[in-house]
């Protein structure tokens, strides 16, 4: 079945729409179509990227930069109403703060929102946090703790599996092959196991980010700054 609701991908130039994609940060389908800029309702002069969706495909959260008078990186949201995305709004505290908030990830049921932030209370320079929706409001995000977070920078979180029991993320922690490496952890009986570096088949002396697993867990799409590419 082809999705009728446009799904979005991140671009340095803003949010771009495609038909035929699986939303919620899924890899590109084989039926790609021409990208179309989503326009002023979602995009602004700053960087707008990293969209995420729940299963209804009607609520989107994304990273929006420089929308406040004092600048900064925040989380914005928009709703699909009568086939049009509403004007994006900054999600207020405790999600967006005066600190750095990026890379939102919405759970399939729409009741948990993961963000990456350098707010106080973390373990390192950048940590992964999660907020629960209670009575329609986002609660104070809680730090995921070890082994997901570390004294280094941890970000670019993605999950796979029907119950999101396998996590992939980017970290600068010791034991890697370059500046940013991709790590993996599996949740067993509700407990995240020791983080494992994906090794030289995936990681390099360069920098690897945004490891996006396929729904069946058999493929992994990554972005990387390494030899053999076409640009930065």
Per-residue pLDDT reduced to its tens digit, 188-199: 999 999 999 999
Please give the helix or strand (H or E) that residue 29 lies within, else none. none
- Beta-carbon contacts of 84 under 8 Å, excluding residues fewer than 6 positions away, are 41
User: Which one of 145, 175, 197 terminates a domain?
Assistant: 145
Token pair listed for 160: 């796979």
- The reply to whether 12 and 120 lie within a common domain is yes
State whether 168 and 203 are in the same domain: yes
Same domain, 141 and 88: yes
∠ CA 152-101-188 to the nearest 5 degrees?
A: 55
Average pLDDT over residues 67-76: 91
Considering the domain architecture, whether residues 100 and 206 belong to the same structural domain is answered as: no
Can you tell me the distance from the alpha carbon of 44 to that of 42, in angstroms, rounded to the nearest whole number? 7
pLDDT reported for residue 9: 39
Residue 77 predicted with pLDDT over 60: yes
Question: Do 100 and 189 reside in the same domain of the chain?
Answer: no
Cβ burial 168-198 (10 Å sphere, 16+ → b, else e) = bbbbbbeebbeebbbbbbeeeeeebeebebb
Residue 34 has pLDDT above 60, yes or no: yes
| Positive or negative torsion for Cα 48, 50, 54, 57 | positive
pLDDT for position 28: 46
Mean predicted confidence (pLDDT) in 68-92: 94
Q: Residue 213: is its pLDDT beyond 90?
A: no
Q: What is the pLDDT of residue 192?
A: 97
Classify strands 48-53 and 59-65 as parallel, antiparallel or unpaired.
antiparallel
Q: Verify that 96 and 159 share a domain, yes or no.
A: no
Mean pLDDT of 181-208: 96
Q: Are 126 and 144 in contact (CB under 8 A)?
A: no
Instruction: Give the domain-ending residue among 145, 178, 212.
Output: 145
Q: How far from the centroid of its chain's Cα atoms is residue 208's Cα?
A: 15
21 band by pLDDT with thresholds 50, 70 and 90: very low
Asked if 75 and 109 sit in the same domain, the reply is: yes
Residue 51 has pLDDT above 50, yes or no: yes
What does the alpha-carbon distance between residue 148 and residue 160 come to, in Å, rounded to a whole number? Answer: 15
| pLDDT surpassing 90 at residue 5 | no
pLDDT at position 10 is 41
pLDDT at 232 (0 to 100): 66
Residues 81, 172 within the same domain: no
* Pairing between β-strand 127-134 and β-strand 142-143 as defined by DSSP bridges: antiparallel
> Does the pLDDT of residue 136 top 60, yes or no?
yes
Q: How many structural domains compose the chain?
A: 2
171 and 97 in a single domain? The answer is: no
Q: Are residues 15 and 91 in the same domain?
A: yes
Instruction: Assess whether 184 and 140 both reside in one domain.
Output: no
| Side-chain half-sphere exposure of 105, counting CA atoms within 13 A | 22
With a pLDDT cut of 90, the percent of the chain lying above it is 68
> For position 30, what pLDDT does the model report?
53
Q: Domain ends where: 99, 122, 145?
A: 145
pLDDT higher for 158 or 34? 158
Q: What proportion of the chain, given as a percentage, has pLDDT over 70?
A: 86
- Between the two ends of the chain, the Cα-to-Cα distance in Å is 35
Average pLDDT, the chain: 86
What pLDDT shows up at residue 200? Answer: 95
pLDDT of 116 over the 70 cut:
yes
Residue 45 lies in domain: 1-145
Same domain for 131 and 211?
no
């Amino acid at each position: 079945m082809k999705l009728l609701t446009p799904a979005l991908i991140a671009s340095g130039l803003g949010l771009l729409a495609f038909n035929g994609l699986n939303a919620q940060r899924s890899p590109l389908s084989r039926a790609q179509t021409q990208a179309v800029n989503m326009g002023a309702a979602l995009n602004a002069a700053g960087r707008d990227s990293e969209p995420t969706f729940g299963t209804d495909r009607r609520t989107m959260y994304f990273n929006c930069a420089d929308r406040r008078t004092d600048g900064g990186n925040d989380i914005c949201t928009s709703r699909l109403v009568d086939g049009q995305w509403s004007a994006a709004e900054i999600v207020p505290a405790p999600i967006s703060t005066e600190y750095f908030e990026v890379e939102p990830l919405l759970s399939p049921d729409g009741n948990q929102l993961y963000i990456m932030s350098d707010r106080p209370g973390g373990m390192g320079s950048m940590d992964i946090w999660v907020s629960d929706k209670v009575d329609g409001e986002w609660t104070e995000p809680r730090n995921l703790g070890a082994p997901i977070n570390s004294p280094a920078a941890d970000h670019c979180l993605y999950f796979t599996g029907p119950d999101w029991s396998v996590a992939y993320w980017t970290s600068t922690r010791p034991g890697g092959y370059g500046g940013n490496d991709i790590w993996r952890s599996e949740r067993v009986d509700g407990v995240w196991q020791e983080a494992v570096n994906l090794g030289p088949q995936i990681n390099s002396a360069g920098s690897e980010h945004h490891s996006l697993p396929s729904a069946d867990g058999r493929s992994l799409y990554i972005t990387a700054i390494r030899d053999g590419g076409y640009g930065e």
